[in-house]
Amino acid sequence: MNTPVRPFSPQLAILIGFVLAAALARLLPHAWNFTPVEAVALFGGAYFSQRWAAFLIPLGALLLSDLWLGFYTLMPVVYACIALSVLIGMTLRGRVGVRNVAVAGFGSVLLFFVITNFAVWWFADPLISHPACQIGLTECYVAALPFLKSQLLGTVVWSVLLFGGFEWLRHQVPALRQTQTA
C-alpha cells in the first residue's frame, strides 16, 4: 500500500535550518557553556509538531556537533537532560512568548545544572573529584556556578535568535505561517 508523501514545507526547512545553524555554532569558539544547546531543545519542542522530530532533530544536531567535539563520560546524562528540555519546549506549543520562553529557558537550564552536576559528583569523574558526602556535593555545585551563569546567558541569547528570528520570519513570509511542521 502506497502512502502519499507529504511535501517538504518551507516552514520545516526553515526550522531544520535554524536548528542545524545553531548546532554548528556550537563548534565556534565560545565561553564555557555559552552554547545554543538548551535553546535548540526548547525550540525543537515548541515548533516540531511530531514528537519524533521534536526529539530527533535537536538531539541529532547535538550528536553531530559531538562527533566533531568528541565524546565524554556523562553523555547519556547530558542527552537525557536535553530530552527533558525538549519536553519543556513542548509546553510552549501555541504559547510562544517572551515570558513563556524565558520561564522555560530558566527551568531547563536549572534542571540541566542540578542533574548534570549531581552526576559529576555521583560518578566521581577523576578529573573533577569531590568527596562522596554532602560537603562534596555542595562543593561540586559551587564550583559549577560560573558555568550556570554562562549557560543562562547562552540560553537567553540563543532563544532570542531562534524564537525571535523564527517568529519574525513567520510574520514576514506568509508561507511560514502554517501550523503543521514535521
Average pLDDT over residues 81-89: 97
Contacts of 21 (CB under 8 A, 6+ apart): none
Nine-digit cell string for 129: 573529584
Q: pTM (2 decimals)? A: 0.86
Where are the domains positioned within the chain? 33-174
Of all residues in the chain, what percent carry a pLDDT higher than 90?
A: 47
Dihedral Cα 72, 30, 92, 109, nearest 10 deg: 60
Of all residues in the chain, what percent carry a pLDDT higher than 70?
A: 91
- State the greatest distance between any 2 C-alpha atoms of the chain, in Å, as a whole number: 63
* DSSP letter, residue 67: H
Average pLDDT over residues 75-91: 96
Dihedral Cα 95, 113, 77, 20, nearest 10 deg: 50
Q: In this predicted structure, what is the pLDDT of residue 176?
A: 74
**What single string gives the DSSP state of each residue in 53-65?**
HHHHHHHHHHHHH
Of the candidates 26, 81, 93, 24, the one whose C-alpha atom is nearest the C-alpha of residue 53 is 93
Q: Which of 30-39, 119-128, 147-156 has the highest mean pLDDT?
A: 147-156
Q: Among 68-72, 87-91, 152-156, 178-182, where is mean pLDDT lowest?
A: 178-182
Q: In this predicted structure, what is the pLDDT of residue 8?
A: 63
Q: Are 10 and 175 in contact (CB under 8 A)?
A: yes
Rounded to whole angstroms, how far apart are CA atoms 89 and 96? 9
Q: In this predicted structure, what is the pLDDT of residue 73?
A: 83
Nine-digit cell string for 26: 556550537
Rounded to whole angstroms, how far apart are CA atoms 124 and 115? 14
Tally of CA atoms within 13 A in the half-sphere of 38 that contains its CB: 30
The mean pLDDT value of the chain amounts to: 86
On the question of pLDDT at 182 being above 80, the answer is: no
110 confidence band (pLDDT: 50, 70, 90): very high
